[in-house]
Amino acid sequence: MSVPDTEATVGLKAFPVGEDAAGTRLDQWLAAKTAPDLSRNRVQAIIRGGDVRIDGKVVREPKARLVAGTVVTLGMPEPEPAEPEAETIDLAILFEDEDLIVIDKPAGLVVHPGAGNWTGTLVNALIHHCDLSLSGIGGVRRPGIVHRLDKETSGVLVVAKNDLAHRALSDAFADHGRTGDLERAYHAVLWGVLPRRAGIVDAPLGRSGTDRTKRAVVPEGRPDARHAVTHYQIVEKFGPKADATAFASLVECRLETGRTHQIRVHMAHVGHPLIGDQTYGRAFKTKANKLPDDLKFVVGEFPRQALHARLLQFRHPRSGEILRFEAPYPPDFAELVEALRRLPFE
């Protein structure tokens, strides 16, 4: 008698077994077929849970040996929700009331638990800090993340503490300030200088074809292409001349859309990646070798992408008041800017 599909199964994948796989352990073979999405331990748990079949028959033994000519069907279960624990982590709080909290996020702090970062995140810290003042998002006592900053990006970030704030702020961030009062500005330090004092980078983003963790500018017609627009304005240029030959520049960026790594990818796309960006600007690091010795280390070994969320403005979801917050440069970012200002001018 066949065993019914489990309620948690949301997708099926079928894998024919070839002659070369005959006699191979089921768990080992499936782990190789699904890498890197599923680990061998995860595959074993799925098998034991009854979500793997061979020619339609459920197999619960990870050590089962394969037979050529059969078909292995893998049911992809619904991922189990993470249950972040409260953790004591210092936060730089700019504002807090019953509806929301605004913090100055340091570089190195992950916003939300995920693969490789299940603890030590901003969410873990907020669950501890807010405690019973969290009235819940969707009936669960947890903070409502309405926007994110990359782990190594510093600056202003707002989090909702209840459903009212979560809905209102989510709508505002989805609109990106086109019709409302939301305003966001980032400061970035770039290699070289952009060709115009102010401009727009309008280029769709999608997954990189060489690395699934990266984003890239892709053709508009590609299925995963997402509209992405970044407005920029040069704030300051750094030696040897305050012209197109400048060694580096400080730029303010404002987002018309909010895609993953948008500023970093767009600036690299136009030939001026962020200083310290090991993902999108690694090839530019050797430019620091041209600097005087006292500046070479500060610039060349800057440990993260030089990106800081400088400004955040939004309308309070309950009072209707316009709130505006600015975060000063953190010490490492300020040191980088000051070092570049010491570059000699001709």
Same domain, 187 and 170: no
Examine the pLDDT at 335 and tell me if it is beyond 60.
Answer: yes
Q: What is the mean pLDDT of the chain?
A: 88
* Count of domains observed in the chain: 3
What pTM did the predictor assign? Answer: 0.74
pLDDT at 88: 94
16 in any annotated domain: yes
- Taking residues 21-31, what's their average pLDDT? 93
Looking up residue 329, the CATH number of its domain turns out to be: 3.30.2350.10
Same domain, 244 and 146: no
Looking up residue 56, the CATH number of its domain turns out to be: 3.10.290.10
3 in any annotated domain: no
Examine the pLDDT at 9 and tell me if it is beyond 60.
Answer: no
- The residue out of 77, 92, 124 marking a domain boundary is 77
Res. 29 pLDDT band, cuts 50 70 90:
very high
Same domain, 64 and 106: no
pLDDT tens for each residue of 249-282: 999 999 999 899 999 999 999 999 999 999 999 9
pLDDT at 102: 98
Beta bridge partners of 200: 231
333 in any annotated domain: yes
Q: Which of 51, 99, 150, 277 is catalytic?
A: 150
Same domain, 335 and 297: yes
Domain span at residue 238? Answer: 181-346
2 in any annotated domain: no
pLDDT at 213: 83
Same domain, 16 and 163: no
- The residue out of 148, 175, 202 marking a domain boundary is 175
Q: How far apart are CA 275 and CA 187, in angstroms?
A: 12
Same domain, 192 and 285: yes
Examine the pLDDT at 188 and tell me if it is beyond 90.
Answer: yes
Examine the pLDDT at 113 and tell me if it is beyond 70.
Answer: yes
228 in any annotated domain: yes
4 in any annotated domain: no
Same domain, 199 and 316: yes
Same domain, 102 and 29: no
37 catalytic per annotation? no
